[in-house]
Structure 1
Amino acid sequence: MSRIPTYDYDLMEQAIYLPMLLTVLKRDLFAVEKGSFKFKRPYSELIQETMAVIQNDLAKIKRYLYKNNIQVERLKSDEAFTMYIFLYKGHEEHHNYFNPKLRNGVEELMQYYLLKQFKLEQKEKEA
Structure 2
Amino acid sequence: IAPAPPGVPQIEVTFDVDANSVFNVSAADKTPGKSQKITINNDKARLSKDDIERMVNEAEKFRAEDEAATARITAKNGLESYAYNLRSSLNEEAFASKFELTTRLSIVHFQNVEMTSATANFTDPYIFRVTFECISPLTELE
Instruction: Tell me the TM-score normalised to structure 1 length.
Output: 0.39
Which structure has the higher relative contact order (CA within 8 Å, separation 6+)?
1
Higher helix share: 1
Larger Rg: 2
Instruction: Tell me the TM-score normalised to structure 2 length.
Output: 0.36
